[in-house]
Structure 1
Amino acid sequence: MANHAAAVRVEWIGLRAERLAEIDVVHVAEVNAAGLVGDHGRAGKRAVTMIQAEHLLVIAALTARETVAPEELRRNFVISGINLQALRKAPLHIGECTLQIEGPCPPCSRLEKVLGHGGYNAMRGHGGWYASVVSGGQIKIGDAVRP
């Protein structure tokens, strides 16, 4: 569980002020017990969402696109270098915070419109994870992620 092939880090951060609002791409996010400050996410188990950077490439391939931008998928964090599924129910230290991955983010039918024909199915199994907040603080782009 402690061995990973690459450096693990935060690649991208996005906040959504309200449901369906444009994504505000930021370099620093503040996390408190309720979740991300400035994000409409839910408190509790679904306070924060994240996706693996490597899955963006898979989703692009499955939708016959060159790229998929993180803001199209509407997750809060893009994390590179680690298999997030392997860390389900384990604490994950990111910047000053500790999060706990709770479960997978299932795709919604809206992704068919965003990603085009087949977008919903492309996201199945690659939609990211939701997490609860164990302890808050700041998370910055480039911060190390440690299981």
Structure 2
Amino acid sequence: MTTNASELPYRPCVGIVLFNRAGLVFVARRIDTKEEAWQMPQGGIDEGETPITAAARELEEEIGTNKAEIIAESQGWLQYDLPPELVGKVWKGRYRGQTQKWYAMRFLGEDSDINLDTAHPEFCAWRWEYLERLPSLIVPFKRKLYQDIVHEFAHLAAPVPEA
């Protein structure tokens, strides 16, 4: 199998910017990294699945709830490349990085609805964070992607008035 990144495709994925009513964003700390890396929920699109369906599924699989509604969608697909030392090692060596459709969602549940102890846990801790801080919390090779996400969804990072 090749480990020349330019010969590999991007893995199709979705990502979720989950806003609470205070305008803060859900981030979680990955179980499988040595460094303290915090990220938003994301994951692959299964064959025959639409990106919207994948986003709802990934949210439930990763944080134990899908009590959320879509409030915006990224204009296009955003990509990142794996660093050279990871190409050929993650995702069974089949991809050079990910191409992602991102969805901004409003969390409709309570904090107690969030449960990281899922069937296949990916995170060990979570918190609500300011959107603009996200690029400083993610692993370096995803930083530009997170900057693009912050730019695209910044207008949504405001408290929602009580109904």
Q: What is the TM-score of this pair, normalised by structure 1?
A: 0.31
Q: Which has the higher strand share?
A: 1
Q: Which has the higher helix share?
A: 2
Q: What is the TM-score of this pair, normalised by structure 2?
A: 0.29
